[in-house]
Chain A
């Protein structure tokens, strides 16, 4: 068989009521489930080893139980991937999944999730992104793509409506994400949307990202390396159908209600996110003393005013840029007009400012913005990149890392070194080859693993657990390793949403963190963005009941979720993820934080003298989760959730 002769074959629908025949990738016929709404009812399965492409029906019970996006990701990962497999082997799979609200007019219905076994951590990787690619994928008639095996040659996947084919990517190998986006749209359709890897993913840099729409990133946990290991340069998609809605009029009314709530709330006070992007968050973290500085040695950065949102707006902002169907527009199109870091692109976001800025002691906004551009073009997660360089800087400053290994001095605050090292990492050149392995492997190589600021091997986001106890618990128990986007306690510990509770208290945090982790799973599964959902689609209490999400889902899909049923779906997703981790050998011992967080008191600032009380929080957390003292879901809990 010619590898590029794309095969397809039909799989009959589960739905005998439907007899609407549709064409699959190469002319086969299958029955389309026309009774399904919100979801497309179809999943594209691409075997990269033999080039076969199948269109499969999405089981409607699975759809309702797991919602979509992150839920579908863990469903397929659990069903089809050996938790013990090598993440860079053909046995691993990459699932790109949209939610039932992705591609609809729902506010922020722009998101998709990339789920795989992480090349960085060996745990789960599920990395989320917005932009326009996810909506386009949905409009092609697919809820998800399952990528399996390994191509013998570099390829890309071209999805044109319900047609799909693999094409040679020989001529694209080595190109940056922007160059690849240009080339793919040139050789397919100019208005198509892309999700691609750069040189970093090709070289299996363990902190490589998948970049869609040129500058949006499914960034975390090395999803780009997983694609590179499959010899898949990326996916380009052109959609040609609107998402079918169960109750179009009801959906419109619901959608208008929540959009109007947003308009009303922001009429006299534009949202800070639109004015200054996520970079404004520096105000909240710096003032609380939890703005990570110099590899988390301090919680306040003396140069913060040089790199925060209002300075970014004044110096480099070109315009705010929304994702698909988003009324907020937190994206930043920026330009450095002159000087050694001249360039243009998108960013930096708050997390990037922490990682490439304060955590490295860098107060040069141009340098860290340039490093951000480089990360986007090479396809690297800015959080783990900055955190890994910060780790290297501390190793260097303490004399554990010789200058001869780095090839240059590596002192705190060196913006020039920062930009150079990002470039080296993306290409695995020089010392960049060591940075490409991530901070934990780097610090271990130099005999000081305790200097890697990670949980389960993934670098912290931009919040200090010693001054934000709930965030410490969220980092430690997140299924992907440290992440703020698994429950984001910064909302209620720092940022006043829905209210502020003392960030230094810890006894009250376990049930709130568990609850918010479940709600975030619902948001991620529905295909929505957290920024709108938390504030406008929940009941704005610490219970964060997803009332608005339920209303949108029900009018879009007809699934008729009760609120408790939807909340249980969120809990199911979190438990399914935990079960996968358990099978991969993870347990309480892995729900940990570096000793700096748990044993070295914060040296100064509002959190002075505090450590993170993780051990005191873990037991109560497991208890409210229905897990054993070792953090394993009990058979009763699994049965209750339909996972037993």
Chain B
């Protein structure tokens, strides 16, 4: 499946293109964890993931055309 990824702040170092927005092709049955693995984001790096603007876990399944947003935990204020 092909998904769209937006990645922010210091997580951008894991972008394959260096850009904050890119497309990613994954095997079918991919989950959010597949995205972390594909981008090489270590488990120790805490990451907030949204799929189509909704909160997601590592187990959330992806479908073609999904928009994935990744950012580090941050503070409000």
- Contact residues of A with B, CB < 8 Å? 268-273, 275-276, 278, 280-281, 283-284, 287-289, 309-310, 330, 349-351, 463, 484-485, 488, 490-491, 494-497, 500-504, 530-531, 534-535, 605-607
Contacts and interface: CB of A to CB of B under 8 A. Distances in A.
B46 A496 contact: yes
A582 B55 CA distance: 38
Contacts of B71: 272, 283-284, 287
Given A273-B74, A350-B77, A484-B77, 19 more contacts: A269-B10, A272-B71, A278-B76, A278-B77, A283-B71, A310-B9, A350-B76, A495-B76, A496-B46, A496-B47, A496-B48, A496-B72, A497-B75, A500-B55, A502-B55, A504-B54, A530-B77, A606-B50, A607-B53
Contacts of A275: 9-10
Q: Is the interface of B mostly helix, strand, loop or mixed?
A: loop
A113 to B, nearest CB: 16
B36 interface: no
23 contacts: A270-B10, A272-B72, A273-B75, A280-B8, A280-B9, A281-B76, A283-B71, A287-B69, A288-B53, A310-B8, A463-B76, A488-B77, A491-B75, A495-B75, A496-B73, A496-B74, A502-B55, A503-B55, A531-B75, A531-B77, A535-B75, A606-B53, A606-B54
B52 to A, nearest CB: 7
Nearest to B42: A268
Nearest to B54: A606
B55 A605 contact: no
B74 A280 contact: yes
A403 B7 CA distance: 43
Lowest 3 CB-CB distances: which A-B pairs, in order? A606-B53, A496-B73, A496-B48
Nearest to A276: B9
Nearest to B45: A269
A494 to B, nearest CB: 7
B6 interface: yes
Nearest to A531: B75
A381 to B, nearest CB: 14
Contacts of A330: 75, 77
A530 B8 CA distance: 23
A495 B55 contact: no
Contacts, number: 97
A272 B55 contact: no
A125 to B, nearest CB: 18
A419 B72 CA distance: 33
A473 to B, nearest CB: 16
B23 to A, nearest CB: 17
B77 A349 contact: yes
B77 A288 contact: no
A270 B10 CA distance: 7
Contact of A281 (B47, B50, B69, B77): B77
Contacts of A485: 77
Nearest to B51: A606
Nearest to A278: B77
Interface residues of B, number: 22
A561 B62 CA distance: 49
Contacts of B48: 284, 495-496, 500
A25 to B, nearest CB: 37
A495 B9 CA distance: 13
Contacts of B77: 278, 281, 330, 349-351, 484-485, 488, 530-531
Contacts of A535: 73, 75
A607 B50 CA distance: 13
Contacts of A349: 77
A289 B52 CA distance: 10
Contacts of B52: 606
Contacts of A269: 10, 45, 72
A287 B50 contact: yes
Given A278-B75, A350-B76, A496-B73, A287 B53 contact: yes
B36 to A, nearest CB: 14
A353 to B, nearest CB: 12
A278 B74 CA distance: 8
Contact of B76 (A276, A287, A491): A491
A344 B71 CA distance: 30
Interface string B35-72: 00000000001111010111100000000000001011
Nearest to A498: B73
Given A270-B10, A275-B9, A284-B48, A488 B74 contact: no
A463 B6 CA distance: 21
Nearest to A532: B75
Contacts of B55: 500-503
A487 B48 CA distance: 20
A530 B76 CA distance: 9
A535 B73 CA distance: 10
Contacts of B45: 268-269
Contacts of B53: 287-289, 605-607
Nearest to B10: A269
B3 to A, nearest CB: 15
Contacts of B75: 273, 278, 281, 330, 491, 495, 497, 530-531, 534-535
